[in-house]
Structure 1
Amino acid sequence: MSRPPSSRPTRRHATTLALLLSLGAAPLAWAVDNAKAARYYEDALVRYERKDMAGAIIQLKNALQIDKSQLPVQLLLGRALLANNEPAGAEIAFGEALRLGVNRAEIVIPLAQALAAQGKQTQLLERPDLNPNGLQPALRQQLILLRAAAAADTGDLRNGLAMLDEARALSRDSAEVWLAEVPLRVRNRQFNEAMVAVDKALAITPASAEAHYQKGSVLHARGDIATALAAYARALQLDPAHTETRLARAGALIDLDRGKDAAADIGELLKREPNEPRGLYLKALLARRAGDAATANAALNEVTSLMDPVPIEYIRYRPQMLILTGMAHHALKEPLKAIPYLEAAHRALGPTPLAKLLAQIYLGDGKPDRAAEVLESYLRAQPGDGQALAMYASLLVSQGRHAKATSLMQQALRSNDTPEFRTVLGLGLLQSGQAASGQTELEAAFKRAPGQLQAGTNLISLYMKAGQNAKAIATADTLLKQHGRNPTVWTLQGIAKSRARDFAGARSSFQRALDIDRSLLEPKLGLVRVDIASGALAEADKRLAALLKEEDRNADILFEMASLSEQRKNPEEALRWLEKAVDGLGPGVGRAQQALVAWHLRAGQAAPALEAAKRLLNRTPEDSGALLIYARAQLLGGDQAGARNSLTQAARRAGYQAEQLFGVADLQLLAGDAAGAAYTLEKVLSTQPGSVRALAMSSSAELMRGDQAAAERLARQVLQQQPKLALGHSLLADVQVARDQVGPALDSLRRAHELQPSTDSLLRLFRLLSLQDGGKPAVQLAEQWLKTRPNDLAVRKVLGDTQARHGNFAAARQTYDLALKQSPKDAELLNNQANVLLRLNDNAAALKVAEAALAEAPRLPLVIDTAGWANFRAGRHDRALQLLRDARLREPGNAEIRYHLGAVLAAMGKKAEARGEVEVALKGSLAPDIAMAATALLTTLK
């Protein structure tokens, strides 16, 4: 969302009476509810700071009952839930904050902690919004340490250690970056390296109980129990409440048969933490050794009652917790309950003696195949374990192995070349990514046997994917000669005809399919799509309503509901349907995911777009289209390096398909990867040497690389091939601008505009002229253009922006008024007009326009900020504070937003918080007048 250029007009100005009347006034009840929600939040904030998490959560939920879209409320709720040991709820709240547009720097650490607490380490490592790139150093270091632990949990020790090196590169003076290495080294039995890390941590913080505990854990793991006990004693001297030390020392004492000493530690631990399951398990172990079965069973039952309600996924990377829960159930003679925990521990730890216990339980449960599988895996790592060998020998069974389909069929075809075999080979090639070869085999099979249903239907799909609708229809016609009662073929024919814009023919084909089988969903959806494409929206609505009554979670139906909402110009409703679709059932989930990413990209919402794109890519990791979508989301989120990597992969996977390669090159240029774009375009030119489009894009790529001569040469090739097009002249202008040849560049742009006068050609000329003589030549050009083309909204917008940039707010107001008559719900225009109105001190009009902009774009930080500032200027401080807190969370790096929030906080008597915001604002980039106002405000807050 743009502001009127330059320093963002200090907001405000009255629009036409007609526009003001059309915007209306906010209902009083809404205003009261909104203020009430704000009070709930402020009270929750006080409770949170006092560590009253339960009270804070209640107040935050009260606020959300009024308005679920409050970003600050969702964020604080996530933090309170996490502190209250409710990580799943915290993740949901953080997810809502992301969906609402919070800046990810505000949530990366607590979100990562919430995921780790639920056993979602893979998500922690793979989620795009948890990528450390782009964060401030201290925050980045914290996140890297969490990711290193997650990598180690998933068994990727090498990557975990590499992450620790990355964290240390940011700062080596923190004990935390060294202590984080210890459990990773111990897990891999690298005790010397672990001790080196401990010593470095102790050198930094010699009085750290955690460091002494970690030292003890290393000594304990390598068998030096006596020295380990000394380290544990020192840790407990420094911090008697250090739980991990108390547990570790009790375990060591039990191993030494010092039951009385161990009991003292366990008793002290359980006094402080009566529901610590590990302490209870050690208590049961001591009681069983003493022959006290009743006490042992009571303690074991306490363990299972505590652990069973915890989803096993939460502790999947905590093998100690898995084992003790499984062993507790096993000791209580509950093998079926023990199995899931022991299986999860076995997966986490790999081949350990635990496999033998698990195999015994499988045998008792009548699952010899599972027992054999576990033992076979274990014996590959421990072939000398005689007990395991004996168990496996009694279970061994023959298992058949299936060769790959493509390999089998290639051998079979040597002796018997049948259409059936060739079809299977073709499908195998397709599934292995060899699309061209697969299609060739299918065409050969279909040519020999035109009724071959499997080959024909797959060819229809391939042809439609390539946009060859005529060939798809012809293939369907051929199949229907022998398979006239096959509804699938009729449906495919209907889809092909619909794509060819033959809506009447498509309706007929879909109806024929339904005449054969009324239960089929796809032809019903085909009719819906034809209704939408042909503008029969009411009929489409009726069909979809009927389908939803039968299948309310079907992703395909939900996707079409979203399509219908888009056609009705209701994007927010479309978003709700898409969100339901991606969590729905059926093959339509993938398509819904693509559409969901596209929705967020259009709305400029980076974090939700990245998350949705990641889910899509996980479903289709080899698809170049999915990589392109993912790269778009990465670019929106500012991750240029990640986008470049994704695009490099997409270029490889696209083969030599020109359209896909053009899409890749477009994004590579946008990502600043000129070399990558040049390589991609070379692939196009190798098959299409005279492609004007490829030559033009190559010129842009070379210019970006700094090779102005190559860029000019390619531009002149375009001009030579297409002398009557503006393109060549525009490309030459780019080179001339790069060489600071303003006069020749203007001549080239004027020539381009003369050859093909268009909005685009005018805007390019306008931008260069706007740098001349205070922008007057550009304004004159735009005004002259608009005399004959008054409906050119894009030109009118840039005219208003330029007038505002040069301080001509009265003219900008009139220009924006005219633009808003054309597009009264354009959030960018409304926001810019509100800023102009504020500059003109027309606060009442600015407030109405700003709120209208907010209604159209409720998640964009600059729009929220404008609305907040307009409310403040209009004396509505509660509403202003609510909005500006929201805007600050979405874009904390925006100095002007921080200043506005500080000003409102100061006006409401929250001086300490206000001072913090204004100090941050003054460290950022502020327009001179706003910097002066911020400096003056800060002096009043000392």
Structure 2
Amino acid sequence: MRKLKIIKGITVNSTCLKRLVTCCLFLSFQTSASVSTLTIDEKDLLIYSTQNSELAKRSQSDLFNFNSLIESSLFNANQLNMEIGDAKALNFISELFKSKDSRAPIALANYIKRYPKDALGFQLAAIELFSQQKYQEATLALRNILQSNPNYTPARTLLGIAWLMLNENALGIEQLKLSLATKHTDPLAIKYLAWDALRNGDPVQATKYLQRNLQTNGIPTTSANLMHLELAELYRQTNDFMGILQLFKLLAENPTTDMSNTLNLEAISRLFEAATEMADINIARIANNKLTHTSAYTSFPSQISRARLLGLESEFSKAISLLDSLKSENQHMERRRVLEKAKIFALQGNANASSKELDTYITSFGEQVTPNAIREYVQRSAALGKGNQALNYLKKVYNQHPKNAYLGSVLVESQIQANDLVGAQTTLDSILRTSADFAPAYYQRGVILYNLGENENATQAFRRSLELDPHQIEVWLALMGSLHDHRTHSHTSQNAGKDHQSLLPVFDEAIEKNPDSSELFYEKGITAYSGGELETAKAAFDRSLKLSPFNLPSLVMSVIVRADLNDELTNAQKLSDVLGVLAPENPAVQDAIGWLKIKAGKPQEGLEHLQSALKGMHDDAAVQFHIGIGYQKLNTIDTSVAYLLQALRDELPTHLADAARQALNTMQPVGQKIVEVKQINGFGVGDKLGTITLKDTKEGLQVTAQINGLPPGNNGMHFHVKPTCEAGIEDGKKVAGVAAGGHYGHDHMMMEMDMNDPIHMEHMKNMKPKGDLPPLLTDANGSSTATVYGSKLTLAELRGRSLMIHNGPDQDGKSGAKIACAIID
């Protein structure tokens, strides 16, 4: 087996690509002689288009750079250990092609005759056929390669391009997608798929494709390349300004970044715009300083960003003055300027001036007004307290164009925002009369039904929307929300996990329809994580990162889940190092880094990061748990117990709650515990009423009371899931003991039942959930020295929970008001 050095310099006659060159360009800039005046058109572009932009020319050249394809082909051949007939001969033939020597085709034909199983020989033959525009013949050569080397992605990519040349787009895209399924993904295949998505009006899908190339390109730290700018433009078109921030933040923070480099200049300009859109003053100032004394500083986009930055710094007069000086004859730029003035006036608190600018903005569209423009107008008007005025305008426009379903959808969106659900339903009926298969209308109907508490009907509406268009990620997530409603389910830390697991098949269904959705994989990971399915969660987070390599939440959770598993800590450390570079001050990043250090045997260092995380995420249960375990490692018992109990008072994933209780029992093992019982009401915790002794026995947990001040007779008694006795809000009122959560061992059983079903209700009357105790008998004076037993309970599993006493005995599976409570620390 021989290694083949990478052949450089093979060129292809670019005239053979003319048909695609005219429509496959990748950057959306207005014609300009220099980068200082490159501007972004506000049109709803479906395909990047350009004429003379320097960056666009680079993009065109890069998209059809078959030199890089050949180099990629040979690199992958080495990676796959493919059999090479004669490396020296192949390199010689490549030199003949490079110099356009007429002997090259004959030499290649002889080589293939001599080595008929050499895939790279056929690959070069396919390139030669491309140069002669013999695409059909090229497909034969490429398919020959793939018969014996099905995982050789460069050949598959080139086959996909050949089909595109033959206008067999479906076949071409199929081959390009197959290139993504192999181990060695071809960046050029990704770019062509992104182009196809744009051609079909789907910039979101194009973004999903193109950001995969970050696996090979990385995030720029010293110099941006063309792929980075193409991705930034896609982020801009989809309003993902956070994506631009993450992409170019390190480049801006690097003091050695060469600002004479055209691509760097454009990257920092994009960052400046994104930072001001996201109100990130610190990054905006860094970008602004980078652009000072460059040709881009006085460009229209940079001036808009400077005005926005001045507004964020409360320099309102300067911001408005700058915007007034920017009047443009370009209609799109002028609208953008007027809209920015409206934003600045709103930031200043000048509602009338802002509303006036919004009116100018929306009327400038005339009959050509777009749904996006109207949405912007309505939302900003509502924020100014002029929502009804904007809503009336929207109704008027929709009445003029009643068959415009997208316009009607914006009206429904605004009516839902105004809580006018009756009006929204009426508009939806109107939309569906003229557009019966308009998927967004069913989604919005589902939202309304969900808001009305009609989850079953909402689920049906979401399902119908997905039947019509299964690629709506927000609808899949809404469907899961209707199936798993936090308003109606008692999602305690111990029981929510199993219920969350029931959603995993729905995630798999959604992912089958949307295999390129990083968001779906991330959400699946979070759902699996909450149910303690850590291996499933890890696989989902890893898949999310493959699709979006520098997605901060997925990076954080990939580190945390590996630390939880105490597995693959070396890989976790690599991910942690990336986090430390990308967002060192982010509290979630500090949490992940700190937790990993604790699991790696460095608790003191870990606690420093975790305390920093807690400052940014006050009272976060997971951070409290991580800190508690850190102090356990340092043998600082009292501090550890305090943090673990605090963590258990909030919502923790099942496996963390179990680990917290295990830690409590390890540090303070007990077979008997005396807890204080206190009166509780809507104001909170009151006076002490006595004590209860909890003791492990052969008969189970022995519960012995020594209490006064209770109602005479039998009173219900249960263990609740959280170690708190505080009041909480229920149906808008403060209610005693609500913060303790649901009955331990009770909630999941109830979630599996339809409590409107008479059979289930009857069954509940006779069931004794694990955490429910026999009633506590109290004498006529309100005192009790009774002893009851929890036959299935141990003190160890009840650490970090509470014991609740209810007024009167349980009836038909229901308890009376909570009147007394004890914390089991």
Same fold, TM exceeding 0.5? no
Name the structure with the higher strand share.
2
Name the structure with the higher helix share.
1
TM range (shorter): 0.3 to 0.5
Length-normalised TM-score, structure 2? 0.40
Length-normalised TM-score, structure 1? 0.35
